[in-house]
Amino acid sequence: MATGFALTELTARYARAVDRREAATLAALFDSDATFVLPPALTGTGAATELRGSDVLASAVVDAVSHLQSTRHVVHQQVIDVDGSTAAGETYCTAHHVYAGRNGFRDNRIALRYHDRYVLGDTGWQFSRRELIVDFSEDVPVTVPD
């Protein structure tokens, strides 16, 4: 049970680090040679893109959201299978991307899942691989308080 909680906490810390644009915090959540896979739906290249190395992928993730008014990543259910010092899991998330549109603010909401692999290191559990899968998205007007 403690391992499951630690992995759930890891995914929550990931969401918070992205929302706060904390690249160093984000990098620390990944094994140094971790892989992050972005789907064609987000890259616009027609193929998945793999980022390698904790510093590289943390910088790329923060850069991808830095132009937005704000983000809010809400982590939902998570299924985890642990095998000693490694684990695999699937994490559901709703990612809110708030930006300034022509007639006010809008929220590009993305329902997504992460296929995750974890490794237990000297400092605790870290991501060794994170693959993002987009299920669907919608773009809606929102009100941002002053």
DSSP readout, 81-133? EEETTEEEEEEEEEEEEEEEETTEEEEEEEEEEEEEEEEEETTEEEEEEEEEE
Mean pLDDT (whole number) for 59-75? 96
Q: What is the pLDDT of residue 1?
A: 59
For residue 122, the one-letter residue type is D
Distances, alpha carbon 140 to alpha carbons 18, 67, 74, 92, in Å: 21, 18, 17, 21
pLDDT given for residue 73 in this prediction: 97
- For the segment 43-56, what is each residue's pLDDT rounded down to a tens digit? 777 888 999 999 99
Take residue 59 and report the two structure tokens written for it: 């910088």
Q: Which two tokens stand for residue 112?
A: 């997504």
Which tokens belong to 109? 């909401």
What pLDDT was estimated at residue 47?
A: 84
3-state helix, strand, coil in the chain (%, to 5): 25, 55, 20
Report the SS3 class of residue 56. helix
Do residues 14 and 93 lie in contact, with contact meaning Cβ atoms separated by under 8 Å? no
Write the pLDDT tens digit of every residue in 104-131.
Answer: 999 999 999 999 999 998 889 999 999 9
- Return the pLDDT at 84: 93
Please say if the pLDDT value at position 3 is more than 80: yes
